[in-house]
Amino acid sequence: MSGPLKYHEGELAVQKRAGAFDPADLEGNGLGSALDSRAAAFLGLQPWAVIAALDRDSQVWTSPVHGPPGFLRVADERTLAIHASLPSGDPLAGRFRRESELGMLVLDPRTRRRMRINGRAQQTAGGPLVLRTREVFANCPKYIQRRELAGAVSSGPTGVLSMFALTAGQRERIARADTFFIGSMHAAAGIDCSHRGGNPGFVRVLGERRLAFPDYSGNNMFQTLGNLSLDPRAGLLFIDFETGRTLQLTGTATILWDTASLREWPGAQRLVELEISQVVENESPFPLRWRMIEPSPFNPA
């Protein structure tokens, strides 16, 4: 596999339009490809992760995975073994029987540390999902609500509801969310999985098949917006950290740069609208339960 890519054309275009382009980043953008000892120690302590990939219809989905600490195991500096499986009704279940692009975000809400690992992955026979890394990098702690793990419950039988529009209950859950995860892709750079956070209400439901969220000041790398500027496919994951209920959306995103609506979104520098094509709700909750400690101090008021 080739080494980490420089910023691609979409990322550069978004950086320039946002006034965040730095020519020095063309030579060194902070992206690496190796899992060093610090990465191995961090990953070895985590009980969950979020992955993004394409389903059989080439739609982007974002899904949670979990296991006891150690389920993410660094085999060597370019190989991560993921000892977890997706439930049968998950949109990405069975997608890695053949080698496929995968983006991963590993987030520790207690310390607000996060790491992104992108590459190609394949399920080994009777063994773990093996990810060969292309990009490995840490992100800043902005907009991560601080939470601590309160416990875990046993997962019940999988029950998945699939639909093409949001129900009233789902719209209410999204409107209360302070966190979601987003998967996006680039033809050459592959799949990326990222985090978005803010105060409850920062995601607004505009209809049964449309929602919008703000893009706040971040690390100026613009991986997600750079991908979406070239390929609008996106997958969103909402997790209720207290109950474990999950909601997965896939659809197409549009970046809104110049709009009068920005003044209605404190701190927003841009907006992103998602046109939803499919919704998946898992009736078997994600087993981890988290307790809120404090919201991010970076959240716009």
Strand duo 210-215 + 233-239: pairing: unpaired
Q: 12 φ, ψ to 5°?
A: -65, -40
State how far Cα 71 lies from the chain centre. Answer: 19
Looking at residue 301, its pLDDT comes to: 80
pLDDT for 293: 98
Q: Quote the pLDDT of residue 3.
A: 47
Residue 118 pairs with which residues in a beta bridge? Answer: 103, 135
Q: Which CATH architecture has domain 9-294?
A: Roll (2.30)
- Domain range annotation of the chain: 9-294
Residues 12 and 20: their CA atoms lie apart, in Å, by 9
Residue with tokens 């809104």: 256
Please state the pTM of the whole predicted model.
0.96
> Per-residue pLDDT for the chain (301 aa), expressed as one digit of tens each?
554 468 899 999 999 999 988 876 666 667 889 999 999 999 999 999 999 999 999 999 999 999 999 999 999 999 999 999 898 889 999 999 999 999 999 999 999 999 999 999 999 998 999 999 999 999 889 999 999 999 999 866 667 899 999 999 999 999 999 999 999 999 999 999 999 999 999 999 999 999 999 999 988 889 999 999 999 999 999 999 999 999 999 999 999 998 788 989 999 999 999 999 999 998 778 999 999 999 999 999 8
The sign one gets for the Cα dihedral 278, 101, 212, 12 is negative
pLDDT at 24: 64
Residue 31: the pLDDT is: 81
Closest among 166, 194, 178 to 251, alpha carbons compared: 166
The residue among 221, 223, 229 whose CA lies nearest residue 29 is: 221
